[in-house]
Structure 1
Amino acid sequence: MTGGYGTVDILQGCSISVNKGQVAVIVGPNGAGKSTAMKALFGMLKLRAGQVKLNGEDISGLSPQDRVAKGMAFVPQTSNIFTSMTVEENLEMGAFLRRDAIQSTMDQIYELFPALKNKRHQPAGELSGGQRQQVAVGRALMTQPKVLMLDEPTAGVSPIVMDELFDRIIEVSRTGISILMVEQNARQALNIADKGYVLVQGANRYTDTGEALLADPDVRKTFLGG
């Protein structure tokens, strides 16, 4: 993918893919184009070159809403919940494109995030940072996506909450949903990644399994603090 804002290309020919039921993680320094890559994949940024494919189908010309209908879900880093709505109303909003019964999906989300079930009638804005992220992920899962894209899901949460969120992300991937995630906590994220991408200035610098990247001395020294 090549593209950016105005006449400036942030993405310089980067390639990213994730297979069914896998966790793929994008890491790299600030300004590397990680979040821009996610926006491009979701259709929020027009590409100047390259294409986006889902299950082999070219969806490059589709709007974000049409990509949701095709099976893509995106959780942005900020402003990702409706704070004045209850937890349950937030989840219901996630099912806006569906025409079937949604209760069984909601039950699965409450099973995944038990704390949300107890607070389902509470305004989402009253929840802790970690619980808000659970609401955001839960709402995305209500669309029954094939690919779940998460931009900095653990930003601003405690290490304990981060570990718990990563555990839940692994659980979701085991149901066959592909997870593509941008994460600042590179070491922890690569630890759960089937595939890892290190972006630098909008281009792929390293691509390998999470395990191999964690073991690579150059990656460790430059991006993981030694």
Structure 2
Amino acid sequence: MAEPFLIGDSMTGGYGNGPDILHDCTIAVEKGEIAVIVGPNGAGKSTAMKAVFGMLNLRSGAVRLDGEDITALTPQARVAKGMGFVPQTQNIFTSMTVEENLEMGAFIRTDDISDTMAQVYDLFPILKEKRNQPAGELSGGQRQQVAVGRALMTKPKVLMLDEPTAGVSPIVMDELFDRIIEVARAGITILMVEQNARQALEIADKGYVLVQGANRFTDTGKALLADPEVRRSFLGG
């Protein structure tokens, strides 16, 4: 069987010299698909994604991207390999304009970025409208669009989103999810952690329910939504 495009395989580890937060946790996603990590607070969801991005020490397990073992690479080196990461908070430069934020996203590129910039503006028209405004003056939902747009400026193969809809209204959440679907349809692999589990699983090709840093349920988004135990324990019935 061919290996998934991106896999954090049997990951065990934690931050620094602290205790293990992940316990034999596996997260995988195919090219152009959306994988969602859900679970209760403190389940290790963001930690699992940060482990895939190289932000914590793995005691065992491996991370592979497109067949290449990248376990030993720094997060910066993983960006160069085609991984884009959008943290949950402090994910934009508030004093810079929208357009400057997007330009910062392209810092590793040496080619012409204007086509990518146009694509980001097509995806998020409000950003084009506000491109000369300081990003700090935008609403929460618009800031998230800047953060996602900036990550897209690197032309990533994989886009990783940590709680992209945290603190935004339900209307903005639906709109962000629609844009995420569009990004995946363009062939970019999406891995995201999301508190709004039900809505996230509705758009997910693959879902992972983590509990205490370990895999509890793994299936398609639709199958997890239909699973009575998942519904009862994690989706509020």
TM score, norm. by length of structure 2: 0.95
Share of identical aligned residues, percent?
81
What is the deviation of 1:155?
0.2
Q: Match for residue 228 of structure 2?
A: 217
Indicate whether 1:203 and 2:203 are aligned: no
Of the three residues 9, 13, 21, the one matched with 1:3 is: 13
For the aligned residues, what is the CA RMSD?
Answer: 0.5
AA partner of residue 114 (structure 1)? P
What is the deviation of 1:7?
3.4
Structure 1 residue runs of 4+, over 2 Å off? none
AA partner of residue 63 (structure 1)? T
Q: Match for residue 66 of structure 1?
A: 77
C-alpha distance in 2, partners of 1:43/1:26? 17
C-alpha distance in 2, partners of 1:61/1:143? 21
C-alpha distance in 2, partners of 1:34/1:94? 25
Q: Match for residue 39 of structure 1?
A: 50
AA partner of residue 107 (structure 2)? F
Of the three residues 86, 101, 120, the one matched with 2:131 is: 120
Of the three residues 84, 88, 96, the one matched with 2:107 is: 96
Of the three residues 90, 94, 97, the one matched with 1:83 is: 94
Q: Match for residue 147 of structure 2?
A: 136
C-alpha distance in 2, partners of 1:150/1:128? 18
Partner secondary structure for residue 17 of structure 1: strand
C-alpha distance in 1, partners of 2:176/2:225? 20
AA partner of residue 218 (structure 1)? E
C-alpha distance in 2, partners of 1:141/1:63? 20
TM score, norm. by length of structure 1: 0.99
AA partner of residue 133 (structure 1)? Q
- Per-residue CA deviation, residues 28-75 of structure 1 (Å, 9 max, x unaligned), is 000100011111111111111001100010001111111000000000
- Per-residue CA deviation, residues 59-101 of structure 1 (Å, 9 max, x unaligned), is 0111111100000000000000000000000000000000000
C-alpha distance in 1, partners of 2:127/2:83? 23
Unaligned 5+ runs, structure 2: 1-10
AA partner of residue 204 (structure 1)? N
Partner secondary structure for residue 52 of structure 1: strand
Q: Match for residue 186 of structure 1?
A: 197
Aligned length: 226
